Structure 1
Amino acid sequence: MENISKVLENGSSKEKIKILETLDNVNNPEILGKIISQLDDDDIKVRGEAFSSLILNKNKISNFLIDSLKTANKNIRGFASLVLANRNETEAIPEIIKLVNDERSMVRSCALGALGHLKAREAREIFLEGLADSNLEVKKSALQAIIDLKISISEEKINEILTEKDSELEKMVSLIKKISGPEGI
């Protein structure tokens, strides 16, 4: 266990990945904390392996993940919300909702994506508010959740979205139009 901690703290990316590949059944709080900290590694492959290890973990680790939503680190806040969503941890919805007003756009985007994945219908107004966010990726996350949950929106709201000249947003809006029909809400 001490060796695992040392590698996750100071090892090379290759060493970290090799260890993380074996840690999908951990319930030791110290090691879980080290795995969660790897969601902020400089190497995207290490972050991805930590993400996978946490998603695949069959133990009851949602409390550790929910606690990590309160960390100062934006990557850990954002990615932990996505891990919780991929684990279908619906009890995390109230805590993830708190992240939709985060100062960091990446965290807001992840939180909206997580809520959409969790089919959080109670976040309907939050998704609609997300369409007015100053960040394009946050808007896309909100719009994807609206599409996935088949929430209809008004023609006026659709036209507001289209003021952003972005081809991906335009494709998403065409899907929304199919859902909303002519009347919207």
Structure 2
Amino acid sequence: MENIVKVLEFGSSEEKIKILETLDKTDNPEILEKIILKLDDDDIKVRGEAFSSLVLNKNKISNFLVQNLNSTSKNVRGFAALVLANRNETSSIPKIAKLANDERSMVRSCAIGALGYLKAKEKKEIFLDSTADSNIEVRKSALHAIINLKFPISEERIKEISKDADSELLKMLSKLKKK
């Protein structure tokens, strides 16, 4: 175990990935924390492998993930929300919902995506409010959820969202049910 921790902290990207590939069954709290910290690794491949390891882990690790929704790292906050969604951890919806107002747009976008994936229909207001977010990716995440959850949206709101929309956002808007 000591060797695993050392590799995760100081190893090369290749070494980290090799170790992470073997850790999808661990329930060791110290190792789980190290895996979660790898969601903020400099190497995107290491982040991806950490993500996979956490999603595939069949143990009860939700509490570790939920605790990390408060991480100082935007990557850990955002990706922990997505891991929880991919694990279908519906009990984490209230905690993920708090990230919809995060200072970082990447975290807001992940949170909205996670809530949409978890079909959190009770968070309809968050999705609707997020269509007016200053960040276009957050608006896209919100619209994606609204479309998938089949929420009706007013013509007025559609006009509002259309203002500085790119082609992808306009295409999404054309799929909306108007009320």
Both proteins in one fold, TM over 0.5: yes
Amino acid at match of 1:26: T
Following the alignment from structure 2 to structure 1, what is the Cα–Cα distance between the partners of residues 23 and 61?
Answer: 13
Q: Which position in structure 1 is the counterpart of 2:6?
A: 6
Q: Deviations over 1:69-120 (max 9, x none)?
A: 0111110000000000000000000100110110000000000000000000
Q: Which position in structure 1 is the counterpart of 2:47?
A: 47
SS at match of 1:125: helix
Q: Which position in structure 1 is the counterpart of 2:69?
A: 69
Identity between Structure 1 and Structure 2 (%): 72
Q: 1:161: Cα distance to partner? A: 1.1
Q: Which position in structure 1 is the counterpart of 2:35?
A: 35
Q: TM-score, normalised by structure 2?
A: 0.99
Q: 1:165: Cα distance to partner? A: 3.4
Q: Which position in structure 2 is the counterpart of 1:154?
A: 154
Please show how residues 105-116 of structure 1 align to structure 2 within 5 Å: 105-116=105-116
Q: Which position in structure 2 is the counterpart of 1:172?
A: 172
5+ residue gaps, structure 1, are none
5+ residue gaps, structure 2, are none
Q: Deviations over 1:45-90 (max 9, x none)?
A: 0000000000000000000000000111110000000000000000
Please, what is the CA RMSD of the aligned residues? 0.6
Q: TM-score, normalised by structure 1?
A: 0.95
Following the alignment from structure 1 to structure 2, what is the Cα–Cα distance between the partners of residues 77 and 113?
Answer: 13
Following the alignment from structure 2 to structure 1, what is the Cα–Cα distance between the partners of residues 167 and 23?
Answer: 40
Following the alignment from structure 1 to structure 2, what is the Cα–Cα distance between the partners of residues 103 and 165?
Answer: 22
Following the alignment from structure 1 to structure 2, what is the Cα–Cα distance between the partners of residues 125 and 85?
Answer: 19
Following the alignment from structure 1 to structure 2, what is the Cα–Cα distance between the partners of residues 164 and 52?
Answer: 35
Q: 1:27: Cα distance to partner? A: 0.3
* 1:91 corresponds to 2:91: yes
Q: Which position in structure 2 is the counterpart of 1:125?
A: 125
Following the alignment from structure 2 to structure 1, what is the Cα–Cα distance between the partners of residues 127 and 134?
Answer: 14
Q: 1:164: Cα distance to partner? A: 1.5
